[in-house]
């Protein structure tokens, strides 16, 4: 099955938070959308969503830190389509908020496995499917968007200890910049994206550490902004930049 009018999305970490809200919004607002949504474990919320959109949603199992699982992921996708239009590397791990004197090295490695290596594995696995969407007169360029974080901004401290988490996000930002530079010929748009300080489990944990009652932006606001970005993304304006929601100018310094 590969209908010419269909827009194919792949969203990792789709069982909750930003990922679940993004998949839901795409299915509810885009009649041409077909969404591959990954989850590490069985998700009641995704299963319920599938009941409402049985022909537009395919749920796939993926532990993003396990490199060996990506071949079967792409095999399942290729069973339905020979291209992807948008890949959103959204799965993430928020480790403990500790200062550098007390961060266990194992915690740093855990964050890097999920937040840095996970998007790299996904990029390597889906690159051919994404770049094939530049052929056949596609109206929009393909996009590989990495859900990053302002915690990965080296030049601006978030005001709370994010040594392990922030390091993993700064590292994936560097990879995103390299991916952008290496795709001039394919036309693939690659960017890390700070989706805003959103009212998710992770966002509110960080807000609590900053002595706030909750994160400043709603999940609905953040997801709508992310979809708007996907719709208009191009290499000239967005590729290789540390894009951000809720930040003046729409981008963060590295």
Q: Which residues are catalytic?
A: 165, 169
Distances (CA, A) of 182 to 28, 93, 144, 164, 238: 34, 27, 13, 28, 15
Distances (CA, A) of 50 to 10, 45, 133, 204: 15, 9, 25, 28
Distances (CA, A) of 35 to 70, 113, 158, 231: 17, 25, 33, 15
What's the token pair of residue 247?
Answer: 């930040």
Cα dihedral 147, 220, 130, 181, rounded to 10, equals -40
Handedness of CA 182, 184, 188, 192 (dihedral sign): positive
DSSP 167-181: HHHHHHHHHHHHHHH
């Amino acid at each position: 099955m590969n209908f010419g009018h269909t827009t194919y999305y792949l969203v990792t970490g789709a069982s909750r938070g930003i990922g679940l809200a993004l998949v839901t919004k795409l299915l509810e607002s885009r009649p041409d959308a077909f969404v591959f949504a990954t989850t590490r474990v069985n998700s009641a919320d995704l299963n319920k969503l599938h009941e409402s959109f049985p022909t537009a949603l395919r749920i796939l199992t993926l532990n993003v830190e396990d490199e060996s699982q990506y071949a079967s992921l792409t095999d399942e996708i290729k069973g339905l389509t020979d291209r992807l239009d948008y890949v959103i590397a959204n799965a993430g791990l928020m480790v403990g908020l500790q200062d550098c004197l007390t961060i266990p090295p194992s915690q740093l490695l855990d964050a890097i496995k999920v937040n840095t290596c996970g998007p790299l594995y996904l990029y390597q696995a889906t690159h051919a499917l994404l770049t094939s969407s530049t052929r056949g007169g596609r109206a929009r360029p393909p996009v590989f968007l990495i859900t990053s974080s302002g915690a990965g901004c080296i030049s601006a401290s978030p005001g709370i200890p994010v040594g392990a988490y922030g390091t993993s996000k700064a590292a994936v930002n560097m990879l995103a910049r390299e991916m952008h530079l290496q795709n001039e010929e394919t036309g693939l748009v690659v960017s890390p994206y700070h989706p805003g300080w959103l009212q998710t489990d992770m966002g509110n944990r960080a807000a609590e550490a900053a002595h706030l009652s909750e994160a400043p932006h709603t999940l609905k606001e953040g997801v709508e902004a992310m979809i708007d970005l996907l719709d208009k993304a191009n290499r000239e304006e967005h590729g290789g930049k540390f894009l951000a929601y809720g930040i003046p100018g729409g981008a963060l310094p590295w």
